[in-house]
Amino acid sequence: MGNDTGATALFDLEGVAVVRVDRAEDGMRTVHLVTTDPAARACPACGTFATRVKGLTVTRPRDLAHGGSAVAVRWHKRRWQCREKRCERGTFTEQIAQIPARMRLTERLRTACGQAVVDGGRTVVQSGRDLGPSWPIVMRAVRAFAQRVLPPTPPRTSAIGIDETRRGKPVWRQNPDTGKWELIADAWHIGFVDAVGGRGLFGQVEGRNAASVAAWLAARPEDWKRHVKHVAIDLCATFRAAIRTALPDAVVVVDCFHIVQLAQRHLADLRRRLTWKQHGRRARKGDGVYTVRKLLRRNKEDLRPEQLTLLETELDHMGTYGRQILAGWQAKELLRDLLRLAAKHTRTHPDRSAISAARHRFNAHVADHAHLPELATLAETIDAWWDGIEAYVTIGITNAASEGNNRLIKLDARCAFGYHNRENQRLRSLTATTRRARREALPA
């Protein structure tokens, strides 16, 4: 069989050559190949190059589309007889790197399937529809491709973020011996991310307890742990306990978003309690507190002068209860004034006197309204977490990277209509959140 040099160059599969291309009446093209790689006649068992051909065989490996449509491949290869007498193999057929023995897909097709999911952001189902293989084959290709492109260990960083994300529902199973129900799959996954370098997710663990977090951190190399100076978390005592166990020298930094969120929640509780106390019902249209309910969730600097005047006027007309709600809003704003010092950190480097003054103003305001349990509880929480809050104000690190990664994980899960296998979920989450960093790391 003679080789078609032009067709071989267009087909571009290393180790084989195109001898002819047939076109059927329906337009389907069939590409006939022969082996050109001399190493294909080396015995897989002993490595001896065979010289005696025992027979011919034709295989039908699947390959990428060419020219905008799929092609059928026919590989005409030889069966060789091993000449090494001590070799137990006896006979073997030719194989090349792109088409290993007993493989029904070319390696470039497998790579394309994995790359479409890992780097391209497609779902496993969509990758199979576009390229042809079934879901299990594409998923195996995803695992193989991810193993090649993902680093074996998390890169070193000076700050990590820890946060949890929920997937589906927990799975329980009844123990036949004890009759008790046991949790075999938790609905929560805890993620560890690069808080300052933008390199995405480092890893995930199933569960929502200090032991799971501490175990993941303890499994990292000692050199990696020594480089971690700060850990950003939300107001979770479980995470804080795990960090103190696994990273005793790291500084815990409380994320500012969750601090403001906590203040907003206490303000909402105060508003609802006092509304019921005054009206005996929820607020409705026509009530002063109903008119300003959305303004209470706004930041002071975002309010126009007329909106600020409306807020103060309506709450003052409510009487004592309205003025107490206004005091709760002012407490929230004083807390935000304290946190805003971190926004100016890179320019003014706030000293401890500025931080202490802002904290004193907040505590003094709460002390003047100590009869409001919501504000007292908020102040107690701030005192309990003050070390982490002060670290945020002085350092400025947030856990925004964790929140962004959680959004990507949920988006990927929605596109895939949910995950059924937790190991696959962790792999898909890892590839989705590191896609941008891996793309930027590629040479120009």
Confidence (pTM): 0.83
Token pair for residue 60? Answer: 């039908």
Q: Please report which confidence band the pLDDT of residue 343 belongs to, taking 50, 70 and 90 as the band edges.
A: low
Environment class of 330 (CB within 10 Å of its CB; exposed 0-12, middle 13-18, buried 19+): middle
Which residues neighbour 170 within 8 Å (Cβ) at sequence distance 6 or greater?
A: 183, 185, 186, 187
**pLDDT tens-place string over residues 226-284:** 999 999 999 999 999 999 999 999 999 999 999 999 999 999 999 999 999 989 999 89
**Mean pLDDT (whole number) for 302-314:** 93
Q: What is the pLDDT of residue 227?
A: 94
Q: Please report which confidence band the pLDDT of residue 5 belongs to, taking 50, 70 and 90 as the band edges.
A: confident
Q: What is the length of the chain?
A: 444
Q: Please state, in angstroms and rounded to a whole number, the distance separating the CA atoms of residues 38 and 51.
A: 11
Q: Please report which confidence band the pLDDT of residue 416 belongs to, taking 50, 70 and 90 as the band edges.
A: confident
347 pLDDT more than 80:
no
Environment class of 243 (CB within 10 Å of its CB; exposed 0-12, middle 13-18, buried 19+): buried
Least confident of 12-21, 121-130, 174-183, 191-200: 174-183
Give the long-range contacts of residues 281-286, CB within 8 A, separation 24 or more: none
